[in-house]
């Protein structure tokens, strides 16, 4: 994750290579099981800079960009605008963001750890460095030992929670599963939480699996995924009755147009579209580029707003709705499929959900609790209070 900083007088974008150490104001997000999103408060509006452009990092604007209509205003009224606090241009429409992520006329921002040349963009759970992809001849990013470690750790954590009347899945499960699985794979037969150093490493090792050493973004992605699934008990029931992770056949007679992908895979992809843990990806133009809102000059810093692009109604039908079976799903916003962090994140979500359902078949939200996400740089629920039975 890249941390953006700004001076009061404006300035260039600054980014840190450490994952998940950015902080954002707490907010009151809203999730709903209804097909339509929660209506935004009529009295609240995005903070606007001179000229009407909403300020992305101004006080209050980052609390909840969805309920404040911030992303909607940017897509409709300011598809290309310059934010002096960020010191860069904002792209919010899906078509423009996809262009910036895939077109060779864009490259990584020079201060965010991305290397020039053919490197993946920092997207989804991937940090975007050239060292993220396995090199020829390297072992697969998720060998059988790591898969078993993820599964074992998930079951240990889930069974500890199952003995309680009320538990917080963020602090007691999501924040420990990635680190615990790594420890179990490396040296421990079972994860000993007292022996773990939970904070993600702050320095990027120069080795192929460097993406996988940073767990903070995967913790946020897991929390968002579990929140979406717990909001839909029917999906939980379908996953519980489906094939076990890593084996079995797909459910018989999937809905027309959905193909043979498992329900879990679709739910995971839908979570990364609707609730991306990293909301902003930094790029820079190599040459002048025309986008839907105008022209970007050569050498311009660009902030791709993944949270806005993933809910662009011009690309997705009912974009605010969590719908794993949507016909217009797009894996672009998930990041490189072969990135070790992406592979591990998917394993942790799949085995984590399965372990929770096996240990707590009746798991549900705690009485009166509704999950709320916060943040505009990284975004995820800060707590997930559940009743194990």
Mean pLDDT value across residues 166-179: 93
Question: How far is Cα 236 from Cα 218, in angstroms, rounded to an integer?
Answer: 21
Least-confidence region, from 142-146, 173-177, 186-190, 327-331: 186-190
pLDDT of residue 192: 52
Q: Tens digit of pLDDT for each residue in 223-256? A: 999 999 999 999 999 988 766 655 444 333 344 4
Residue 176: burial class (beta carbons within 10 Å; 0-12, 13-18, 19+): buried
Q: Tens digit of pLDDT for each residue in 353-382? A: 999 999 999 999 999 999 998 887 888 999
Dihedral (CA of 152, 154, 157, 158) sign: negative
pLDDT of residue 385: 97
pTM higher than the cut 0.85: no
Read off the pLDDT band of 211 (50, 70, 90): low
**Residue among 221, 159, 165, 204 nearest 347 (CA):** 221
Q: 195: which 2 tokens?
A: 């022996």
pLDDT of residue 282: 87
Q: Tens digit of pLDDT for each residue in 289-305? A: 999 999 999 999 999 99
pLDDT of residue 232: 94
Q: Tens digit of pLDDT for each residue in 20-69? A: 333 333 333 343 333 333 333 332 444 455 556 777 776 666 667 877 78
Mean pLDDT value across residues 4-10: 37
Question: How far is Cα 335 from Cα 304, in angstroms, rounded to an integer?
Answer: 14
Higher-pLDDT residue of 331, 19: 331
Read off the pLDDT band of 166 (50, 70, 90): very high
pLDDT of residue 85: 80
The answer, yes or no, to whether residue 213 has pLDDT greater than 60, is: yes
């Amino acid at each position: 994750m890249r941390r953006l900083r700004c001076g009061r007088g404006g300035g260039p974008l600054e980014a840190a290579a450490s994952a998940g150490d950015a902080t954002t104001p707490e907010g009151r997000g809203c999730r709903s099981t209804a097909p339509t999103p929660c209506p935004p408060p009529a009295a609240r509006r995005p903070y606007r800079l001179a000229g009407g452009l909403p300020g992305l990092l101004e006080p209050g604007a980052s609390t909840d960009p969805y309920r404040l209509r911030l992303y909607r205003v940017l897509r409709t009224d300011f598809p290309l605008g310059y934010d002096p606090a960020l010191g860069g241009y904002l792209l919010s429409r899906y078509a423009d963001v996809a262009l910036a992520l895939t077109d060779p006329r864009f490259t990584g921002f020079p201060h965010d750890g991305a290397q020039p040349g053919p490197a993946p963009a920092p997207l989804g759970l991937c940090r975007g460095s050239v060292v993220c992809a396995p090199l020829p001849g390297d072992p697969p990013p998720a060998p059988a030992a790591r898969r078993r470690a993820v599964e074992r750790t998930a079951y240990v954590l889930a069974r500890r929670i199952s003995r309680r009347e009320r538990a917080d899945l963020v602090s007691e499960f999501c924040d420990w599963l990635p680190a615990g699985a790594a420890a179990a794979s490396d040296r421990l037969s079972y994860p000993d939480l007292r022996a773990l150093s939970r904070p993600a490493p702050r320095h990027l090792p120069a080795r192929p699996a460097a993406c996988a050493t940073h767990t903070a973004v995967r913790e946020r992605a897991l929390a968002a995924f579990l929140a979406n699934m717990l909001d839909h008990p029917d999906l939980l029931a379908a996953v519980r009755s489906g094939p076990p992770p890593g084996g079995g056949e797909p459910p018989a007679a999937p809905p027309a147009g959905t193909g043979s992908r498992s329900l879990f895979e679709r739910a995971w992809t839908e979570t990364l579209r609707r609730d991306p843990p990293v909301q902003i990806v930094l790029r820079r133009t190599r040459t002048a580029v025309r986008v839907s809102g105008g022209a970007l000059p050569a050498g311009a810093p660009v902030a791709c707003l993944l949270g806005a692009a993933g809910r662009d109604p011009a690309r997705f039908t009912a974009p605010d709705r969590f719908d794993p079976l949507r016909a217009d799903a797009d894996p672009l916003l998930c990041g490189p499929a072969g990135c070790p962090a992406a592979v591990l994140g998917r394993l942790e979500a799949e085995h984590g959900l399965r372990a929770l359902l096996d240990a707590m078949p009746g798991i549900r939200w705690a009485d009166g609790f509704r999950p709320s996400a916060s943040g505009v740089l990284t975004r995820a629920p800060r707590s997930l209070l559940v009743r194990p039975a």
